[in-house]
Amino acid sequence: MYSLKQIGVIHTTFKTKEATPIQGAFNPDAEGTVEVFPEYADGLKDIETFSHIWLFYLFDRAGDLPLVLPVFLDDEPHGVFATRHPSRPNGIGMTAVRLIRISGRVLDVSGIDVLDGTPLIDIKPYVSRFDSIDDASDGWLEGKGERKKPPGRE
C-alpha cells in the first residue's frame, strides 16, 4: 500500500461543487492561494521564476461514480479515464495555474478551479517545452464547443 502526504491546502472562494469552474482556462481571473505547510516551504525555492505551475491535489469531496459516466461536454457517457471528471478511483486532480506572487510559503494564483480547503499533494513547474504537445489529439472532445455546466452536474 502506498500513501500520499498532504503538503498544503488550496484556498479559493469556491465553497460548493456547483460554484467551482469546470476548468481554470475558462475562468482565468479566478484567484486563490496555495498554502504550503512549513515543513515543505524550502521546496518552494526558485518557484517564483516560473509564470505557471501545476497543482496536484485530492478530490476529497467528489464522491463515487461508475467507471462510465455522463459528462457536461457531451450527451454520451464516457469512461472516467477519458474525462477530467473529479470522481476517480484515486481522486487525484491537477490544474495549471498562473503564479501571481509568492509570499513566504503562500502562493497567489489565478485560473484556479478547485474547491476551498482542497488538500494539496504536489506542485510542479509548468514548462512549455515539456507540457505542450503541438500534435496532440483532443479525442472525443474534438469539435465540441463550449457548454455551460448544467445545474446539478459536476
> What CATH number does residue 122 fall under?
2.40.30.70
Q: Tell me what pLDDT residue 147 has.
A: 52
Q: Tell me what pLDDT residue 154 has.
A: 40
* Contact indicator for 35, 47 with CB cutoff of 8 Å: no
Domain count, the chain: 1
**Residue 146 counted as domain residue:** no
- Helix/strand/coil for 125: strand
Q: Tell me what pLDDT residue 153 has.
A: 43
Nearest-5° Cα angle at 29, 103 to 46:
30
Under-70 pLDDT residues of the chain: 16-26, 28, 144-154
Q: Tell me what pLDDT residue 61 has.
A: 80
> pLDDT tens across 12-52, in order?
987 766 656 666 566 767 899 999 999 999 999 999 999 99
Containing structural domain, residue 77? 8-141
**Residue 147 counted as domain residue:** no
CA–CA separation, 34 vs 11, rounded Å?
6
A 10 A CB-CB count for 84 gives: 15
**Residue 1 counted as domain residue:** no
